[in-house]
Amino acid sequence: MKKIFGVISLILWCGSLLAQEINVSGTVTSSDGTTLPGVTIVVKENPTKGAITDANGKYTISVLPNQTLEFSFVGMQTQTVPVGGRTQIDVVLQESTQMIEELIVVGYGVQKKSLVSSSVSKVSSEDIEKAAPTRVEQVLQGRTAGVQVIANSGQPGEGFTVRIRGVGTNGTSDPLYIVDGMPVGGIDYLNPNDIQSIEILKDASASAIYGARGANGVVLITTKQGQKGKFSVNYDYSMGYQNAWRKVSLLNAKEYAIIMNESYANDNKAIPFPNMAAIDSLGTGTDWQDEIFYKNAPTYNHQFSVSGGNENSTFLSSLSYTYQDGIVAKGKSNYERYTYRLNSTHKIGKFSMGNNLAYTNKVTRGIDPNAEFGGPLAKAVNMDPITPVKNPDGTWGISNYATQEVVNPVAYLSFLNSNYTENKLVGNVWGELEIIKGLKAKTNFSIDYANGSSRTFVPVYFLSDIVKATTSEASGTVNKWFTWQSENTLTYNNTIGQHNFAAMVGMTANKYYHEYIGGKKNDLIFNDFEHAWINNGTDEDSYRSWGGADEHALLSYFGRVNYDFDGKYVFEGVLRADGSSNFGSNNRFGYFPAFSAGWVMSKEEFLQGFTPLSFLKLRFGWGRNGNEAIGAFKYTSLIGSGSKYTFGTDEVITLGSNPVGISNPDLKWETSEQTNVGVDARFLSDKLTFTLDLYNKKTKDLLVVAPIPGYIGNAAPTVNGGSVSNKGIEFELGYKTLINDLGINANLSGAYNKNEVLSINNSEGKIYGAGLAVGMYNICVMETGYPIAYFWGYKTAGVFQNEQQIQNYKSSDGTVIQPNAKPGDLIWVDKNDDGTIDDKDRTMIGNPYPDFTLGINLGLTYKDFDFNMFWYGAFGQEIFKGTRRYDLPMSNWDASVLERWTGEGTSNSHPRLTIDDPNQNYFRVSDFYIEDGSFLRLKNITLGYTLPQKFSQKVKISKLRIYATAVNLLTFTKYSGFDPEIGAKWALDVGIDRNIYPQPRTFMFGVNLSF
């Protein structure tokens, strides 16, 4: 019995030895001896267990002695190696005879990059991870040629102005965003870490498949999916601190008093600070910028995801939390976002199905980021530095000098109470059936639902005669948006010899509905934001309510054919028909054709011997697409209420309704036609890549208000009557190599665009745009022969130095042009030489859009270290610096006023100071306010370290990386305002600085964990 027991014990002991894991390590190289980082190693018997080679191609993994390792890498043949009890296994991977080629997402499908004949740029998930953005638009900036991305402000959660190949309309110029096949109104709900790739369809031949919505370009976003044979858990965390990267230079208290005295004295008025000893004692006074900037404002981010799959199903689930405080107005400007995503795919025989589901909850608290009246920064810049934040008795300081909206900004912020909460659900379910070999039918149903509510509370307060509230008020508005889309496509692919064919037809039905309701009430029983609900108001007479709804529908039919011969000659044709509810009965449907062709010259015999060339393709494309985002019901005459009219002999005033405009059933969409010629090339075994595109885009049938006689007595109709041209050149240059342990990945992108308005068919040939404060009207204008939204104003020719110069400044007929001017006044250019300075002398004084944009991205890896640096620049644009309230003469000044004209020869650029400003030196829109807005900014610089796997795997971690990042670390610019990046409020309000909320300089630290 003892012998039997001993034998059993020996067998069990031997079995335990056999079952004990061993550590296997080694190096993976290519056939030429180059080490391969990023090779995936999976235990074949347990696919959930694996490792990845480091920057030196080394790996370590714990396995059972009798298991098998599987090595896989893009472009290489997968290799299976039995462990056989070994602890050292070096592997050489061979290039695949059919190398896996990069795929590009296009409308309703994917294509091999070598066969794409249109202009399409791509941003990968790796680019997104390096940028660590809060919003998706940040990733597009500078990384894709021809795509201009400018932050509307630095306020958390604020949007971006995105323009693809210039501005072609006086209406909506935003591109169409498609997320997993669903058109969405905005992409701020997305967690950037959930994105697999972003493709930008830039020319019409690429975007014509989206017809009436593709004129401004299309951005296709594909979210991540789970991977077969690999279960992974990832956690990312980052935290950082933000500060203003600069302050503007303003007068201190002593300088302010001196300048104000001079202004009054030059008008022969009593000076406001007659006591010189008191002026000397003022010192620097209050620095209002310091008072409202939030030092070391925090930001942090958590990302958690789980993914996996097998041969039949994959899944990915992610959860994220983002919080960012603003650098202005502590507690009153911040952004908070939760996101959850669940994506899955399943395959049963010839049937596939899947879903993409995203939920987002966001809460935004904000201030007006670029406003001359209500903006806190505008108050801080214009507020006199003499007034204290608080008086000795603890009450708020109220200025004796600043007037109207310019009040104590710290006190003003204390009375601001508002937030906006939004819950959004975007998702789709799809199914695809392979009917016969090569023929597939797919159906896709998507929804986009959002519920947003805003609340505002105004307490009783007094800061000036016009900035006050005599009774408390609570208000709120609830918005609901719902869009559904049903899409069905049929695709066929076939190969006959060297001839490859593909065809796709489909239809889409899309319906949008929006409703809102709101109200307000005064005299609340509570005096705090937490209890600021409308039903807590007690003043029944103050109760107001409002509401409304709008809707839109789109019905589309589309088709595409693709052909290539041996991957050498490529052709694509597209046709789409769109029917939109935004247009009149006479033009309800529009048709949008496109075609493109490519010639892969590197496959020709005459280039086979040229070894430096790896790939060369010429592309040509032409297409037509539209812009139907013009607003609803402009083709018809709506009925408005609230009009008053008298009836009868007693002339009784009666409240009624009436048509508010003249109908135009011929109204149709704006149409964009574009021609594109491009070259794609790769050299030195694909280490060097180059792309060049030249384009000519013309947008016609812009919407303008038709000229009609005044006796018609109604608003003029909207008609199609304008055109705009955008011509440009784009390039992208990349270099990627590995030199021993040093990996280099460098990319350079640039774009030049020339914008010109070709025609405007209204009575003046102009469309007037935004103004500034009181009196500065129509700063931005759209006019034939000029760039869209150019700055329209007076040119100056220096400063009058003496009386003789004034009398000698005459028109060609001898008229003294500025007889009432004084030495020190600006010299206005008499453009039409009529001896008078008036609106006829206004002309182009600046262009808010850049001539050239540039992006530089440099990535380096050395052993376990990684480094990335990204620069973005925009050059040639001007900024209208409207930061000072010129209409309020006691507003503070920029420190440049110290270089003003004070006598002959002292200045030829900055005029004398007065209170009444009789020459309108500061009142007129002129090039005095124009500054060079060019800039080059180090947007992101990151240094990371990845723990070697031989250490991380000891604690069951497949990857552990720590990193430090600086955002907006350096900015080179001549512009003197808060920030040279100023987005668009609308098409004709661009580049006007009303004291923009600046972008923060951020220092972040983070960790990436994978299990």
pLDDT of residue 125: 86
**CA dist., res. 805 & res. 826, Å (int):** 12
- For residues 41 and 229, the answer to whether their CB atoms sit within 8 Å is no
The string of DSSP letters for 655-685 reads EEEEE-S---TT---EEEEEEEEEEEEEETT
Q: What is the pLDDT of residue 345?
A: 96
Report the alpha-carbon angle 477-482-484, nearest 5.
175
Strand stretches in 887-934, DSSP E = 930-932
> What tens digit of pLDDT does each residue of 295-335 get?
999 999 999 999 999 889 999 999 999 999 999 999 999 99
Using CA atoms, how far apart are residues 680 and 629, in angstroms rounded to an integer?
A: 33
Nearest to 1000 by CA among 77, 24, 141, 241: 241
The per-residue pLDDT for 35 is: 80
pLDDT at 96: 64
Residue with tokens 């303003």: 250
Tell me if 373 sits within 8 A of 773, measured CB to CB. Answer: yes
What's the distance, CA 704 to chain centroid?
A: 27
Rounded distance, CA 141 to CA 163, Å? 10
Taking 70 as the pLDDT cut, the residues of the chain under it are: 1-19, 32, 48, 55, 74-75, 96-101, 642, 707-713
Where b means 16+ CB within 10 Å and e means fewer, 799-836 reads bbbeeeebeebeeeeeeebbeebebbbbbbbbeeeebe
CA–CA gap between residue 647 and residue 689 (Å, rounded): 77
Q: CB count, 10 Å around CB of 391?
A: 11
Q: What is the pLDDT of residue 963?
A: 96
User: E strands of 459-582, at which residues?
Assistant: 461-462, 468-469, 473-496, 499-524, 537-565, 569-580
pLDDT 10s digits, 660-688: 778 888 888 899 999 999 999 999 989 99
pLDDT value for 704: 82
- Whole-angstrom distance, CA of residue 1005 vs CA of residue 949: 22
B/e letters for 926-941, b = 16+ CB within 10 Å, e = fewer, are: bbbbbbbbbbbbbbbb
